[in-house]
Chains A and B, each alone.
Chain A
Amino acid sequence: MTALVLVEVENGAVRQASRSAVAAASRFGAVDAIVFGDGAQAAAALPGVTRVLSVPGLVNDLAEPAADLLAARAKDYSHILAAASATGKNILPRLAGLLDVQPIPDVVEIKDADTFVRPIYAGNALATVRSSDSIKVLTVRGSNFDPVAAEGGSATVETIEAPASEKSVFVKVELSASDRPELESARVVISGGKGLKDAANFKLLEPIADKLNAAIGASRAAVDSGFAPNEMQVGQTGKIVAPELYIAVGLSGAIQHLAGMKDSRVIVAINTDPEAPIFKVADYGIVGDLFEVLPTLEKAL
């Protein structure tokens, strides 16, 4: 069995989520990678990848030509994977449509070659599903698979011509480079609660957010107190987030808040009250005055 992984390369480096997808794919046997645009060399360096299909002419990840191209190659593979990223979720289900198979998105655990675990109901339940399709098309959650190293492999590279795309044309992309990432898609989120005491103190979160390229969130109590605007609210009634790292600063961990962030991979809590419920879900906790901890944290980063 050979698996094919759609590998995303950003600024010359393979995205971590794609390295996790390669790790997941190696569970099925040999791994080929496919790279759209530049970056085949970065993919070829991934340990465990034997062959890289390079499509330099397909620069903007347009789903239509990408899926066409993957479909044309699909018969060689038992599994076709991608990270559960915006790109993976755009292209792979379309590929599944072309192949007439049922895709399996957001896989968090591989039981065997046919059986996968995936969250449903916003992570409130985990479904184990078995696929009867001859080619399995899946996206995997990066946080659930340890990524392969960025270097150490030496795959062969085969260059493929990009098919033309007439129906879909790339116009432009606007990356929020200087701005903060969106709360829901940020890799790191730092949230403040009532412990910040006023709106001005919310600025204390910014230097740390800058260093970690983090989005800034807030608890409902902080929003209700007018410390932060409503769109920053993380929680049951606000935004549901599941970043790689969630840093909760001066918030107690009301259950409404926990409902919105409990699926984060790593949770850090900073609070003066050692009994605060947030510590019950935190992987790492610092009991202390946030006004002292935040500046030292910024320096340590």
Chain B
Amino acid sequence: MTQIEREEMEFDVVVVGGGPAGLSAAIRLKQLMPDAGVCLIEKGSEIGAHIVSGAVIEPRTLDELLPNWRDLDAPLRTQVTEERMLFLTETRSFAVPYLDRVMPQMANHGNYIVSLGEVCRWLGEQAEALGVEIYPGFSGAELFIENDHVAGVITGDMGIERNGEHGPNFTPGMILRAKQTILTEGARGSLTGHAMKRFGLRKGVEPQTYGLGVKEVWEIPAEKHRPGLVQHSFGWPLDDHTYGGAWLYHFGENLVSFGFVTGLDYANTYLSPFEEMQRTKLHPAFREHFEGGKRLIYGARALSEGGFQSIPRLTFPGGVLAGDSAGFLNVPKIKGTHTAMKSGMIAAEAVAEALEKDRKEAASMTARVQQSWLWSELRDVRNIRPAFAKWGMKLGALYAGIDSMILRGRAPWTLHHPHADNETLRPASVCTKIDYPKPDGKITFDRVSSVFLSSTNHEENQPVHLKLRNESVWQTVNHDVFDSPESRYCPAGVYEQEQTGENAWQLRINAQNCVHCKTCDIKDPTQNIDWCTPEGGGGPNYPVGM
């Protein structure tokens, strides 16, 4: 390899990822150290372009970070007014009674339904006003390591041709030097993965588990719109052994956020999270909301579900992890924004201390997290998600009720996540095929027309950013054993298995469709799919509303 000459720029802190965690960290840092040089990079073409979330958010952290947010025109406009949790059978629905007592985490009074993409854009403006330098369209391609500690990041090269050669517009990535690097890339971040490996951050903690959220935003007739309505469901269409459920929120100007999260520890190789989402819309409890409406946006993103048991070591020489990169989502609450933001704030506080005291590692972050409400909040709900995995949805729900109502989160035991999500898939030979309905083009849709609504694009000529580490493993494992699960779990139609002859198959990778949800990186049975960061600015372009 030829040595590429890279320009360098020095900052006190570099933040990788412009989601709620990264932006909160950047804002907090500038509040604590107004003179610090803080740079934030974001692989999306703008802040918010890659953000997918429900989202109902708890304003608790925002109150701490920017107490005057109400005067700053923050886009928290729809307060929750009405909420229900439904258990679905194929044709009927039953509301969980006394929701605020049985599932106290679900109580949403005082919370807001937002477009998280819009909230992030707003946080970005607040950060810039404080002097944070934000550079969207640039991905963090590598950690910049010096003397065995992280000394910044290297942004992705641009203008590399499909064949790997430098094109006429080749622009080398840049070294962003930093005394501290804050990784807030969301679930399954690439640099986070490198840091975990290099510094052994996952030693002694349970595997991270994930869910895949697939989301649509609809515009519905004004007479049907009930701003503030929050509806969640579990049960149908998933079987009792598969974790997941739907959300439906009425917010903004005649907008509805609808989505479905499937636990990626599912076992049936024939399951398709995309199709589960589509068919849920046909259930009587959901269908009426969409009739006469128009689908505007589509997107998908994996989220961390491991919770407390799966939180890795948060600091390493030269940097820290925060947000969903570390896995701070509160699963029973179905919320991760307030925890992501809080972890970002704590990261900033620890980093500020390390900068002041000239320490290589912001080690105080761990204690700071443990002393905060963030820790107790996650500890109290630690057994709920694993209970669903252990006993199924119905008994899991029963356990959740007992754990919350009677034990109040103080159970003397801790349930475990025994497997990583790539280990749970069962061979096709023992799985039942699922007969998903054909899309009707009005309420349900196919993948391709959906991806179209994510405004996804990748610079055409760049190298494919999704690769098989070992081509033959795809044939012998993915195809022969599991009947190509990637063609079903990918919500963007990136993977298609193609017959090339009698008993000969190959995997077609439409990398250009990729919405950066990271599911393939998580769920591939042998971890054979290598998700490299594509050229900055690529991927979805979710508008405000998402």
Interface residues of A (CB under 8 A from B): 220, 224, 230, 233, 236-238, 254-256, 259
Contact = CB atoms under 8 A, between A and B. Distances in A.
A224 B461 contact: no
13 contacts: A220-B512, A224-B508, A224-B510, A230-B460, A233-B460, A236-B452, A237-B457, A237-B512, A238-B460, A254-B448, A255-B448, A256-B448, A256-B452
Contacts of B460: 230, 233, 237-238
B89 interface: no
B448, B508, B510 interface centre (most CB from chain A within 10 Å): B448
A230 B452 contact: no
B512 A259 contact: no
Contacts of B68: none
Given A230-B460, A236-B452, A256-B452, 4 more contacts: A220-B512, A254-B448, A255-B448, A255-B452
A259 B452 CA distance: 9
B449 interface: yes
Q: Which 6 A-B pairs have the closest CB atoms?
A: A255-B452, A255-B449, A255-B448, A254-B448, A237-B460, A237-B457
B415 to A, nearest CB: 44
- Count class of interface residues, chain B: under 10
Interface string B502-518: 00000010101000000
Interface string B428-460: 000000000000000000001100100001001
Nearest to A224: B510
A254 B452 CA distance: 10
Does more than half of chain B's interface fall in helix, strand or loop, or is it mixed? mixed
B459 to A, nearest CB: 9
A238 B512 CA distance: 12
Contacts of A238: 460
A233, A236, A255, A259 interface centre (most CB from chain B within 10 Å): A255
Given A224-B510, A237-B512, A230 B461 contact: yes
Contacts of B510: 224
Contacts of A230: 460-461
Contacts of A259: 452
A251 to B, nearest CB: 13
A233 B460 CA distance: 11
A238 B448 CA distance: 16
Interface in B493-537: 508, 510, 512
Contacts of A233: 460
A88 to B, nearest CB: 32
A250 to B, nearest CB: 15
A289 to B, nearest CB: 18
Contacts of B457: 237
A233 B510 CA distance: 15
Contacts of A255: 448-449, 452
Nearest to B445: A255
Contacts of B449: 255
Nearest to A225: B508
A249 to B, nearest CB: 20
A238 B449 CA distance: 17
A254 B448 CA distance: 7
Contacts of B461: 230
Nearest to B512: A237
A34 B448 CA distance: 49
A230 B512 CA distance: 14
Nearest to B511: A224
Contacts of B448: 254-256
A237 B452 CA distance: 11
B494 to A, nearest CB: 12
Nearest to B449: A255
B53 to A, nearest CB: 25
Interface in B131-161: none
Nearest to A252: B448
Nearest to A233: B460
A254 B510 CA distance: 13
Contacts of B512: 220, 237
Contacts of A237: 457, 460, 512
Nearest to B441: A280
A220 B510 CA distance: 10
Contacts of A254: 448
A239 to B, nearest CB: 12
A243 B63 CA distance: 57
Interface in B449-475: 449, 452, 457, 460-461
Contacts of A224: 508, 510
A237 B510 CA distance: 13
Nearest to A236: B452
B135 to A, nearest CB: 24
Nearest to A259: B452
A224 B510 CA distance: 8
Contacts of B508: 224
B439 to A, nearest CB: 11
Nearest to B509: A224
A236 B452 CA distance: 9
A233 B448 CA distance: 17
Contacts of A236: 452
Contacts of A220: 512
A256 B455 CA distance: 11
A233 B461 CA distance: 12
Contacts of A256: 448, 452
A240 to B, nearest CB: 14
B162 to A, nearest CB: 9
Nearest to B493: A254
B535 to A, nearest CB: 14
Interface string B73-87: 000000000000000
A184 B457 CA distance: 21
A236 B541 CA distance: 14
A300 B292 CA distance: 46
Nearest to A220: B512
B299 to A, nearest CB: 16
A197 B457 CA distance: 26
A45 to B, nearest CB: 48
Contacts of B452: 236, 255-256, 259
Nearest to A253: B448
A222 B171 CA distance: 29
Nearest to B450: A255
A94 B414 CA distance: 77
A86 to B, nearest CB: 27
A99 B503 CA distance: 71
Nearest to A257: B448
A247 to B, nearest CB: 22
Nearest to A275: B438
A237 B512 CA distance: 10
A220 B448 CA distance: 13
B63 to A, nearest CB: 41
A255 B449 CA distance: 6
A260 to B, nearest CB: 12
A73 to B, nearest CB: 47
A236 B512 CA distance: 12
